[in-house]
Structure 1
Amino acid sequence: MAVTLFACADTKTQQTDTRPENQNTTSTNVLNEAANSKTILCFGDSITAGYGLDDTDDAFPGVLQKKIDSLQLDYTVVNSGVSGETTAGGKSRINWVISQAPDIFLLELGANDGLRGVPLTETKANLQSIIDVVREKSPKTQIILAGMELPPNMGKAYTTEFRRLYADLATSNNLLFIPFILKDVGGIAKLNLADGIHPNKAGHKILAQTVWEVLEPLLKA
């Protein structure tokens, strides 16, 4: 599935396919344009990609770009979200994506692992591998880890350990941490699409604010 980067006429948020097998002149030009300012790379799944929205610029990376632009901060938000992405999928594409050397890297993956019952050791190892690649390939990049939680029907032991693995990774790697990216959105019908899983436009505005609480100090430092 294609990786999307948001594009909007009145913002700097970019939209293209960032997988190595789909490199082309257009994607290269877009990423070169983004390189003219500092870059925030949002690396995730359908939550980042804006699944189900009429306008993908309404997903939280696009909302962040609008806020950044309103404050006249020189940052371009790059959306590298793939609907259905697992941590294994993220691990397989991170080497090419991180070659863009973003200033800030937001890692939002794992929900699809959890919903599929992937062993927690595998999910944690994949996330650690992604973190390791970012630090090796782009050591100046600041990493933000976005945590996720699962619905209770996955079982108490599994959901508890799933939540904990993000906190453990954040602590062991000394990362900036968002405990639950769907805080105040997950499970609230009016803030989600009919599937009850993916945030709607209103939900993404709240997601953007949750991310902004951690992101803002970095941008203004």
Structure 2
Amino acid sequence: MKKMIYGLFFGDSITYGEYDGVFGGWVDILKRYTLQKFHEGSNEVILFNLGIGGETTEGLLKRMPYEMAARNSEEGNIIFIGYGANDLAKKNGSYLVAPEQFEENIKTAVQYAKQYSNDIYLVSILPFSRNVDGVESATGKLRVNGDVLMYNQILTNIAAEHSLHYIDFYAAIVPDKEILLSADGVHPNEKGYGIMAETVIPIIEKYL
């Protein structure tokens, strides 16, 4: 008997797939992949892209319980949490979400997720390209690659502490970041999103 499993992807514009006019981002690539596999006879794995551009973990905590209650499969849920690129941005000298608060927010999100699933994946933050590292944007936000390492370490520690899975997109992108990021230096381009999807396909395979 085939199962119906839901995959819930919480995140910001990088989860949403912004700046990818070709494939629609990594989650949309995975959606098409799971649908194809279902037609070939695999379990039905339905993926929900719950990414919102500009969102921090503060916004996540406000909506996460409602989003999960609305999309809950009795046969199993996989939950992905991908935040940090906005949290670590500085505006007027202050982080949008300071490291200590980011850690607390992710831990709270994990507790919410555990009500619906034991299959929880924390997603690393991507590196920024040279042209935006330490440069204030038109919107007054400042992002620094050193902060990416610090916030990713928080995610790594939480994953280890709570026996969660960790998806290291940072390691997959950083060697070729200048050709895998879009012109804005923050979002991947279609090649970058393709590599992200390839990184996650082996994970999705386990549920098909």
TM-score by length of 2: 0.76
Counterpart CA distance in 2 for 1:80 and 1:194 is: 24
In structure 2, relative to structure 1, the CA distance for the partners of 1:62 and 1:149 (3 Å cut) is closer
Counterpart CA distance in 2 for 1:166 and 1:189 is: 24
Q: Is residue 133 of structure 1 aligned with residue 112 of structure 2?
A: yes
Any residues of structure 2 matched to 1:183-194 within 5 Å, and which? 183-184=172-173, 188-194=177-183
Higher percent of residues as strand: 2
Counterpart in 2 of 1:123? 102
Counterpart CA distance in 1 for 2:81 and 2:156 is: 13
Counterpart CA distance in 1 for 2:189 and 2:181 is: 5
Counterpart CA distance in 2 for 1:182 and 1:62 is: 21
Q: Is residue 97 of structure 1 aligned with residue 67 of structure 2?
A: yes
Q: Is residue 106 of structure 1 aligned with residue 72 of structure 2?
A: no
Counterpart in 1 of 2:4? 37
- Native 8 Å contact 1:185 1:199 kept in 2: no
Counterpart in 1 of 2:140? none
User: For residue 115 of structure 1, what is the amino acid of its counterpart?
Assistant: A
Instruction: Choose the corresponding residue for 1:59, options 9, 18, 25.
Output: 25
Any residues of structure 2 matched to 1:160-179 within 5 Å, and which? 160-179=149-168
Structure 1: unaligned runs, 5 residues or longer: 1-35
Q: Runs of at least 4 residues of structure 1 off by over 4 A? A: 149-152
Structure 2: unaligned runs, 5 residues or longer: 135-143
Counterpart CA distance in 1 for 2:179 and 2:151 is: 26
Q: Identity across aligned pairs (percent)? A: 24
Counterpart in 2 of 1:198? 187
In structure 2, relative to structure 1, the CA distance for the partners of 1:200 and 1:182 (3 Å cut) is farther
The superposition leaves residues 98-136 of structure 1 with CA deviations (integer Å, 9 ceiling, x where unpaired) of: 102251011111111112323201001111111111213
Higher percent of residues as helix: 1
Q: Displacement of 1:189 after TM fit?
A: 3.3
In structure 2, relative to structure 1, the CA distance for the partners of 1:179 and 1:44 (3 Å cut) is same
User: For residue 47 of structure 1, what is the amino acid of its counterpart?
Assistant: I
Say which structure, 1 or 2, has more relative contact order (CA 8 Å, 6+ apart).
2
Give secondary structure in 1 for the equivalent of 2:59. helix
User: For residue 94 of structure 1, what is the amino acid of its counterpart?
Assistant: M
Counterpart CA distance in 1 for 2:59 and 2:89 is: 15
Counterpart in 1 of 2:124? 147
TM-score by length of 1: 0.72
Counterpart in 2 of 1:6? none
Counterpart CA distance in 1 for 2:33 and 2:170 is: 18
- Native 8 Å contact 1:145 1:170 kept in 2: yes
The superposition leaves residues 3-35 of structure 1 with CA deviations (integer Å, 9 ceiling, x where unpaired) of: xxxxxxxxxxxxxxxxxxxxxxxxxxxxxxxxx
Q: Displacement of 1:43 after TM fit?
A: 0.7
Over the residues paired in the alignment, what is the CA RMSD in angstroms?
A: 2.4
Q: Displacement of 1:186 after TM fit?
A: 7.8
User: For residue 100 of structure 2, what is the amino acid of its counterpart?
Assistant: T
Counterpart CA distance in 2 for 1:144 and 1:64 is: 15
Give secondary structure in 2 for the equivalent of 1:58. coil
